[in-house]
Amino acid sequence: MADACTQLLIITEGFATYGGLSGRDMEAIAVGLEEVFDPDYLHYRIKSTQYLGEKLLNKGVSIIYPVGGHAVYVDAKKLYPHIPVNQYPGQALVCELYRIGGLRCVEIGSVMFGKYDADKKLIPAPKELVRLAIPRRVYTQSHIDYVVEIFDEIMRTRNNVKGLKIISEPLFLRHFTAHFQKLD
């Protein structure tokens, strides 16, 4: 019953740790909507995101190009060609980025969008991506450079990374609360 309530909460209100929207949060959203149109801010944000994308490309990391204004999307399937899609290469990269550098990012692939057929076989998503989002007015140039440095280790160890299997998942929105086990 608790799991069913948690899943309904995610769909209707947001993730349990979000805490709902207080007046302060709504005011922050309003300020953000105003600031996002500031030309100097937009220039800095877009240049920072492009900088990250260019640095990753120079390291041999396959990304979706051209880079947009809010995130860089890494092609985890190309980064980890030895990990089959049913072992979730995007989620494996998410885990490595967090393990190595404390970077929080999100898989946008078969964990988020994969489906099962009648025989419980995975129907994979069209792409296995990882989104490196750049939050508004949070990261400095040194933060972006840190992300670039973490990818040195990601690239150095990429052939040793193993896939994952899902050991438990909810009925809906599994990318929020699924549990994984590293494969040997």
Instruction: Write the CB contacts of 94 (distance below 8 Å, at least 6 apart in sequence).
Output: 105, 106, 107, 130
Q: Within this chain, do residues 64 and 142 fall inside the same structural domain, yes or no?
A: yes
Per residue of the chain (184 residues), what is the pLDDT tens digit?
Answer: 888 887 887 777 777 676 666 777 778 888 888 888 889 988 988 999 999 999 999 999 999 999 988 999 999 999 999 999 999 999 999 999 999 999 999 999 999 999 999 999 999 999 999 999 988 777 888 999 999 999 999 999 999 999 999 999 988 888 888 999 999 8
So what's the pLDDT on residue 69? 87
DSSP 42-55: HHHHHHHHHHHHHH
Mind listing the pLDDT tens digit for each residue in 150-178? Answer: 999 999 999 999 999 999 998 888 888 89
* Residue 28 shares a structural domain with residue 102: no
What CATH number has the domain bearing residue 169?
Answer: 3.90.1150.10
The domain containing residue 28 runs over which residues? 1-35
Asked whether residue 61 falls in the same domain as residue 29, the answer is no
Residues 176 and 94 both lie in one domain: yes
Q: What sign has the CA pseudo-torsion 37, 142, 103, 80?
A: positive
Tokens at 134, concatenated: 């750049």
Same domain membership, residue 166 and residue 83? yes
Domain check: are 135 and 161 in the same one? yes
CA–CA distance, 31 with 25 (Å, rounded to integer)? 10
The total of structural domains in the chain comes to: 2
Could you please report the per-residue DSSP string of 28-85? HHHHHHHHTT-HHHHHHHHHHHHHHHHHHHHTT--B-SS--SSEEEEEHHHH-TTS-G
